[in-house]
Amino acid sequence: MKALFYTREFPPYVYGGAGVHVEYLAGELAKLMEVDVRCFGDQDEKSDNLSVKGYPFEDGVFENSDDKLKSVFKTLSTGLHMNAEAIDADVVHCHTWYAHFAGIVSKLCYGTPLVITTHSLEPLRPWKREQLGRGYDASSWVEKTAIEMADALIAVSEETKEDVIKHFNVDESKVHVIYNGINLQQYQTTPETSTLDEYGVDKTKPYVLFVGRITRQKGIIHLVNAIKYIDPDTQIVLCAGAPDTKEIGKEMEDAVNEVKKDRKNVIWIDKMVTKEEIIQLYSHADVFCCPSIYEPFGIINIEAMACETAVVASAVGGIKEVVVDGETGFLIPLEQQKEAPFEPIDPDKFSRDLADGINKVIKDKNLRESMAKKGRKRVEEYFDWVAIAKQVESLYKSLI
């Protein structure tokens, strides 16, 4: 059996959870079958059962296009180029809307069974219009078309499955819940502290860690607003880069600068760090905070739990299936607006509640250590890529 992945992200160009998912799933599936990956970039490599070919954006073609539409036009163009070479795979598997147009074309032109993993859903990410303008209508159409013509859909959580059925015209029998996973040998606590030294983290003081992109979805502004309620002896380490827009990047910068007027222990690492660096940061954090307002799964939470770090996270989406409230961390209730943009009805209350959860973990060493051990155990039991790859393999076989 041979599988073909269409994806925007693949190493060395990974900036989000979907890219992490594709990297590890492809690597694990390659132990079971031949896997080709066609991605955005300039990759060109092959090892054993895994082949990777990147497709760079066309230079100059969209130079005079509207700035908000350039990425959409480039994405659609790249999707066509990905199909220029003949497909000899038994199944095509797409990840995120950026790759869905390639899947649409492959299904129509080659007739190969199509699998879509729903890492997130455009109807639940209305803030994307800030980034894409009318291009958000195009991305929504691409996603809807691909999902509704797919032979099988993988939802990364039970709640995501419910969202797929609610927002799209699909047969429930086609939607399969298969969780994200983690490499348990790679993501584990380490005694190394060179990264902490490099970024000026005081190893004698506790710290709360955030990891993620600067986007409405990840809720980082709510954590920044919570800092004034967090115990002043607790350091705040924000590992946050790749802002969706210049505007939200500026909003983040202003918010952090305002907080820094009153406390000097806020450390903002405004770039994408390496796996080795992030594992060190996870390993020595006292709390990991995930304040997302929308999160189909939240792979960063299992990364933290695998490194034996307690988690304080918003009680939304798939996070509720990952973090066990009171055992591996605390789930913070989030009363959201029912209509777009789904922000908290009372943002200050949400920020205060995040801070309360963080403070509670920081102050109770026994609780913190218990959550750390239980978090690692939960990841080992439910989120191992080896078992997840076998579930995906079984799904492929059912379509051939």
* Contact indicator for 379, 305 with CB cutoff of 8 Å: yes
Residue with tokens 């269409």: 6
- The phi, psi pair for 184, rounded to 5°, reads -70, -25
Q: Which residues contact 316 (CB under 8 A, 6 or more apart)?
A: 292, 293, 294, 295, 334, 336
Q: Which residues contact 179 (CB under 8 A, 6 or more apart)?
A: 156, 157, 297, 318, 321, 382, 383, 388
For residue 342, the domain's CATH number is: 3.40.50.2000
For residue 287 the two structure tokens come to 């709390």
Judge whether 75 lies within some domain: yes
Q: Are residues 242 and 169 in the same domain?
A: no
For residue 222 the two structure tokens come to 């709510």
Judge whether 186 lies within some domain: no
Q: Are residues 148 and 44 in the same domain?
A: yes
Neighbouring CB atoms inside 10 A of 102's CB total 27
Q: Are residues 338 and 392 in the same domain?
A: no
Show the domain range for 165.
Answer: 2-181+384-399
* Contact indicator for 155, 118 with CB cutoff of 8 Å: yes
Burial (0-12, 13-18, 19+ Cβ within 10 Å), 32: middle
Judge whether 244 lies within some domain: yes
Q: Are residues 266 and 147 in the same domain?
A: no
Q: Is-cis flag, bond preceding 12, omega within 30?
A: yes
> pLDDT in tens for each of the 400 residues of the chain?
999 999 999 999 998 889 999 999 999 999 999 999 999 999 999 999 999 999 998 778 898 999 889 989 999 999 999 999 999 999 999 999 999 999 999 999 999 999 999 999 999 998 888 889 999 999 999 999 999 999 999 999 999 999 999 999 999 999 999 999 999 999 999 999 999 999 999 999 999 999 998 999 999 999 999 999 999 999 999 999 888 888 889 999 999 999 999 999 999 999 889 999 999 999 999 999 999 999 999 999 999 999 999 999 999 999 999 999 999 999 999 998 887 778 999 999 999 999 999 999 999 999 999 999 999 999 999 999 999 999 999 999 999 9
Q: Are residues 258 and 160 in the same domain?
A: no
- The phi, psi pair for 329, rounded to 5°, reads 165, -165
Judge whether 188 lies within some domain: no
Q: Are residues 174 and 241 in the same domain?
A: no
Q: Are residues 271 and 335 in the same domain?
A: yes
CA 354 to CA 335: how far, in whole Å? Answer: 13
Angle at 197 between CA 194 and CA 201, to 5 degrees: 125
Judge whether 187 lies within some domain: no
User: In one letter, which amino acid is 53?
Assistant: K
